[in-house]
Structure 1
Amino acid sequence: MDQLIDYTRERTLAELAKLPKGEFTATGVVDNDGFTDEPVQLQVRVAIDDEGVLFDLTGCDPQRRAPVNSTYSQTFAACAYVLKCLIDQDVPVNAGFYEQVRLVAPEGTVVNCTAPSPVVGGWETQVRLTDIILRALHPALPDKIPAATKGTMCQVGFGGTDPRTGQLYSYYETMAGGYGGRSTKDGPDAVQCHGQNTENAPIEEIEINYPLRIDRYELIEDSEGAGQHRGGLGLRRDYRFIDHEVSFTVLSDRDRWGPEGLAGGQAGGKARYILDPEGQHVELGSKTTIALAADTIFSYRTCGGGGHGPPHQRDPQAVAEDVREGKVSAERARVAYGVVIDSSTGQVDQAATEARRREMAGNGL
């Protein structure tokens, strides 16, 4: 074991020596903490020198009364994850690797809270922090860094009394969302991001085991962040609770600001949390608990990933394929990407596309 740790240490240090030297900074926010409407401010400084990589989070907000506080271990995990993303993927992960994660996270802040701070939503801060650290490193590693991902755990929890058995039940899952566009590829649609390892819960399994129906489960058209390489699409899941009342909790984010684009890409579509989408259509916040009457529908819609690169540089054929697959509307193709689709054939109208893109260039789009 000692030999393996020594080997890992040597490999990790050799990989870190390849990274560009310098200091890199970025800021960002969690939309709110759920108790107040004030954004949670996050500030990152990454210093790469001959000793390795230092993650300095001095300047992040003081810990909150609400449950968006990250523990030191959660924050350390975010930094370790980023470091692992930057080095050769066959480097083992053990003490020889973790020794190189140098972290400054002041006590009493949202990235290193002290007891008895609420932490159930600390993952919201931790996952967002990962995106911000990566964005800070974009000037140093432009080909490796994606645009912002969904950047939220997208937590869902509900419970009630099963009318079929009279037994209490509870349910919890985390929803997928869009990944950020990359320098050479689109962001994947509807995936877990940045260290999240929860799997998709199939509709059939949910409906067999719980007294509810999933009315809709689908990708959200036009939710991608437009870019030369677009962000991934967000996901929609509509829950209908049959013959019983439930307590429904959303612990998520991104309903105020969508995931940021990169290198000229646009932000991904914002998340939405909608009560009774076919009737009252009440938009709720990203951190809420609500009592739902029997047969009520709750529509949970996650955000899309940010786009990478200018949208007008996207391959028109890739845009046309997205339109044919129902991922991007023809109108959005024209407005965001400057690609005009012939409605009779579904193909790119070359002349109209060239004219539209000239118009966009003239307007600085």
Structure 2
Amino acid sequence: MPGNYNPEATESFQEGILIPPVKLFKRGQINQDIVDILSANSRLPNSLYGDLNGQINALDLGEERLHSLLDEYTEENISNALKELCERAEKMMRQNIKALPNETISIEDYLDNDGVTDDPLTLAVDLTIKNDKMVIDFSRSSKACAGPVNISKSTTIAATYVALKHIFTDVPANAGVLKPVEFIIPEDSFLSVRAPKPVGGYTETILRLIDVIFQAFQNSASDKVNGCAYGTINALSLSGYRKNGSRWVMFSFFGGGHGGHPDGDGLNHGNAPISTATIPPLEILEAAYPVQFTKWGLRPDSGGKGKHRGGLGAIYEIELLEEQANAFLFGERGKFAPKGVLEGEAGALNQFFYGYKADDPPEKQSSPPLKSKITGISLKRGQRVRLETPGGGGFGRASERPLEKLNYDLEQGYITETKND
């Protein structure tokens, strides 16, 4: 599967080559055998070399900077400072928790499917606040699934950490944040799997988990939470051969709207809140691959209504310039829209269309959207794909949004009518 995101994987062996921890360098010399194994398993070995060299250079620079710190401040002082930072984070986190009411909140959200079956998966959390501690219990979540949206226990904890850091922004970012937090994650849950269960679609589950944590805190920490973001990286791959016989693979992530928040409207067309999923510039994609973006803009009416509106999703339309290509989409939020908080409304659903041409009638261009994970798409020259990404959930009641903001949204083309129910 070009791009290594296989929406139909049922075990980790179908998700790419498995590499245990091995030394790429030994005594300053690169192990060329490992490089050769990696390049032999890549459709684009030259790109692999570039990525690998970039990582090596980054590690070299990191080592250099670390030695500079140690030389300037000594290992003992740095170790003491790190320990103090962790202790300070724990203390601040406990103070934040203690300021919340003692209660248990139960929240559920859903994934469209696992890519193999079309059955939804439940991501449920029971959040208990008691004094200066909290318990985050995922026991009501779905069991391990056949498809690749499973995640490991460590990934579940890491994603929860991301959500907590978005909520308690004043707390230093280190392991002390999790000291007052107890996790309950059953071993048979899709949030706690082991090899060889497939996990390639972990990004979709992480994003839903962050959404659930935001929803759980919406009443007790209403001045700190956002509506749900668009909730999918929408990994889209197009691949084929150029006239000269060389292989090309375009593998990209696409943005959407972020949730409305206590201080204002959600971000329009932003990156996902995980560092792997950044939006590439269209000029780079058009220069590197035989495609043309015929649309790249904001999606009107996609942000959830609220006192503070959810950010808008985007519309991407791509036309193939070569004779033939294969495509797949690994996405989410095709069935379950990004929720609002504090009575804010949900953002628009994810939609994906393919196989039409510019001069096709509107009814063909607007064919019913497909499920959010799909493989085996075959495209011919001049045919297009269109991805309409979700908007963010709203914050607060739509009836509380000032008329001047509605009029501004209308002027900017963010909405097509000013009515707020």
State the TM-score, normalized to the length of structure 2. 0.75
User: Among 129, 148, 163, which residue is 2:209 paired with?
Assistant: 129
Give yes or no for contact 2:168–2:224 (8 Å, CA) kept in 1. no
Q: Secondary structure at the match of 2:418?
A: helix
- Which structure carries more helix by proportion? 2
The amino acid that maps onto 2:124 is Q
Q: Which of 1 and 2 has greater Rg? A: 2
Give yes or no for contact 2:111–2:336 (8 Å, CA) kept in 1. no
Aligned to 2:404: 317
Task: State the 1:248 CA deviation.
Answer: 0.9
Q: Distance in 1 between matches of 2:85 and 2:255?
A: 33
Stretches of structure 1 lacking an aligned partner (at least 5 in a row): 338-364
Aligned to 1:26: 107
Q: Does the C-alpha gap of structure 1 residues 92 and 149 become closer, same or farther in structure 2, counting only changes over 3 Å?
A: closer
Q: Distance in 2 between matches of 1:115 and 1:47?
A: 31
Give yes or no for contact 2:167–2:225 (8 Å, CA) kept in 1. no
Taking every aligned residue pair, what percent have the same amino acid on both sides? 27
CA-based RMSD of the aligned residues comes to 1.9
Aligned to 1:58: 139
Q: Secondary structure at the match of 1:273?
A: strand
Deviations 1:268-294 (A, max 9, x none): 111100114553334221000112222
Aligned to 1:102: 182
The amino acid that maps onto 2:85 is T
Task: State the 1:48 CA deviation.
Answer: 2.7
Aligned to 1:346: none
Q: Does the C-alpha gap of structure 1 residues 87 and 228 become closer, same or farther in structure 2, counting only changes over 3 Å?
A: closer
Q: Report which stretch shifted further, 30-39 or 229-238.
A: 30-39
Q: Does the C-alpha gap of structure 1 residues 148 and 88 become closer, same or farther in structure 2, counting only changes over 3 Å?
A: closer
Q: Distance in 2 between matches of 1:310 and 1:276?
A: 40
Task: State the 1:54 CA deviation.
Answer: 2.7
Q: Secondary structure at the match of 1:172?
A: strand
Q: Distance in 2 between matches of 1:88 and 1:186?
A: 18
Give yes or no for contact 2:255–2:389 (8 Å, CA) kept in 1. yes
Q: Does the C-alpha gap of structure 1 residues 157 and 101 become closer, same or farther in structure 2, counting only changes over 3 Å?
A: farther
Q: Does 1:15 align with 2:15?
A: no
Q: Does the C-alpha gap of structure 1 residues 25 and 8 become closer, same or farther in structure 2, counting only changes over 3 Å?
A: farther
Q: Does 1:194 align with 2:273?
A: yes
Task: State the 1:98 CA deviation.
Answer: 4.9
Q: Does the C-alpha gap of structure 1 residues 252 and 106 become closer, same or farther in structure 2, counting only changes over 3 Å?
A: same
Q: Does 1:208 align with 2:208?
A: no
The amino acid that maps onto 1:87 is F
Q: Distance in 1 between matches of 2:345 and 2:125?
A: 22
The amino acid that maps onto 1:313 is E
Q: Does 1:253 align with 2:338?
A: no
How many correspondences in the alignment? 332
Q: Distance in 2 between matches of 1:88 and 1:259?
A: 22
Q: Distance in 1 between matches of 2:217 and 2:296?
A: 35
Task: State the 1:90 CA deviation.
Answer: 5.8
User: Among 242, 246, 255, which residue is 1:162 paired with?
Assistant: 242
Q: Report which stretch shifted further, 186-195 or 220-229.
A: 186-195
Stretches of structure 2 lacking an aligned partner (at least 5 in a row): 1-77
User: Among 283, 303, 309, which residue is 1:224 paired with?
Assistant: 303
Task: State the 1:59 CA deviation.
Answer: 1.6
